[in-house]
Structure 1
Amino acid sequence: MSSELAKIMNFPSHPVEFFKQILQAANKGKPAGSIQEMNLATVDEEFGVLNRTVLYRGLTRDNFVFYITHRYTRNFKNLQANPNKAGITFYWTNVRDSDGKESTWQVRLIGATAVQLPESELDALWAKEDLAAKIRGHICPCGQPIDHDELKTKHDQFLQEHLASGKPIPRPDSYTAFKFEPQRWDFLNVAINQIADRVQYRLQANGQWESMHVST
């Protein structure tokens, strides 16, 4: 039996730089283009709090995590109705540090405000979507009961017509994206037989970040 306190060392002054460091370590050894996921929580009028695991798409030019969705989805409606009440969590296990030691990292964006990206940025994002995602954007009524056979027929017909046309699939009006501007970034690190350490960055009134260790 043993116990010790974890300690996060040598963290940078800006939370996004710390996030990039951990993400790079978490992806080390994985194939290029591996899927990265994040958990998004929103406030819902019917169910209270809803969370879902979604694809992490990267950072905007101004260093905010962003998320792609469609305007007909519940998550879009939640973010539109409660843009100041969103939370994001990243969770990675078996992350090796520079000494080869493995630990778990949890990174949270707390008190995030969801801001829609301008229309001028959406075409470039749509161009990067894979074929399945583009077809889904045109044929899938998110959250609605369906007849699977009817949806398959619709899908196969759409795919066949697309391949025969040789033309790109147009971006639907429903396609959109949000960036998340957090009030706090929270970084938790722990290994076996340890009490976790957290480093939290708190946004100050002057736009600067104050960082500190906080208890778990």
Structure 2
Amino acid sequence: MAQSSVSRIVDYPDDPIELLKQLLEAAAKQQPDSLQYMNLATIDDEFGVLNRTVLYRGLSNDKCIMYVTQRFTRNYKNINANTKCGITILLPQLVLSTPDTKPHTWQVRLIGATAVELPDAELDALWSKEPLSAQIRDTIFPCGQPVDYDELKAKHDQFLKDHLEQGHSLQRPSTFTAFKFVAQRYDFLKVGVDQIADRVQYRRQENGQWEAMHVST
């Protein structure tokens, strides 16, 4: 027999970032070796809306989601031209430590998000966390340019060989940068199998505080 029920988000905190942390921590416990990704959408003069799946980089000192990029990329140019961005984090089959232990899919959206470039003083810490493959890419690889694979691989292999022989850390290139996203709303959606989703939306008030409420899907 067909079933239907309504999902419910309960005991959510006053601050949206605290709820986001709960979800990300639960996902990390379930898949400790996995990385968390998010979808980033920007406005492009040539193609209109462009979106890409990027790595979630954690939170800034003032609890904003961060994104690492290069200043020569199209996404950096898009953000500079129009700082309004769309961010979505999808967390499928997530089990929280609540009485309801069934898996649910969660979607977290940032609404009215404005990108703010981080100051140079904060970039070294982010660069030090980059894996070697990313540091090499950021140093010698072009972005979005037609390339010859064999030439590119030979360039990579020689660069890696020289780096390992020298034994020095790679220096952060001047093109390496990062953004934080300041959102007007955080939208959390929870849904299970044969369920109608529930949403809790946090809306930033004029005094900077958050107002949380259930909204229909």
TM-score (norm 2): 0.96
- Specify every segment of 5 or more residues in structure 2 that has no aligned partner in the other structure, as ranges: none
The question of 1:19 aligning with 2:12 is answered: no
The equivalent residue for 2:29 is 28
Q: CA offsets, 1:75-124, max 9 Å, x none?
A: 111111101x2011011111113232111100001110000000001111
Q: Distance in 1 between matches of 2:109 and 2:13?
A: 17
Deviation at 1:73, TM superposition (A): 0.7
Q: Distance in 1 between matches of 2:199 and 2:18?
A: 16
The equivalent residue for 2:56 is 56
The equivalent residue for 2:73 is 73
Q: Distance in 2 between matches of 1:171 and 1:82?
A: 26
Q: CA offsets, 1:13-34, max 9 Å, x none?
A: 11001111111222223225x3
Q: Distance in 1 between matches of 2:19 and 2:146?
A: 42
| SS at structure 2 position matched to 1:63 | coil
Deviation at 1:209, TM superposition (A): 0.7
Report how many residues are paired: 214
Q: Distance in 2 between matches of 1:103 and 1:29?
A: 13
- Specify every segment of 5 or more residues in structure 1 that has no aligned partner in the other structure, as ranges: none
| SS at structure 2 position matched to 1:93 | strand
1:58-207 aligned within 5 A: 58-83=58-83, 85-97=84-96, 98-99=98-99, 100-207=101-208
Q: CA offsets, 1:51-71, max 9 Å, x none?
A: 111100101111000000000
| Percent identity of equivalent pairs | 60
Q: Distance in 1 between matches of 2:117 and 2:86?
A: 16
Q: Distance in 1 between matches of 2:24 and 2:159?
A: 37
The equivalent residue for 1:8 is 9
Q: Distance in 1 between matches of 2:28 and 2:169?
A: 32
| SS at structure 2 position matched to 1:28 | helix
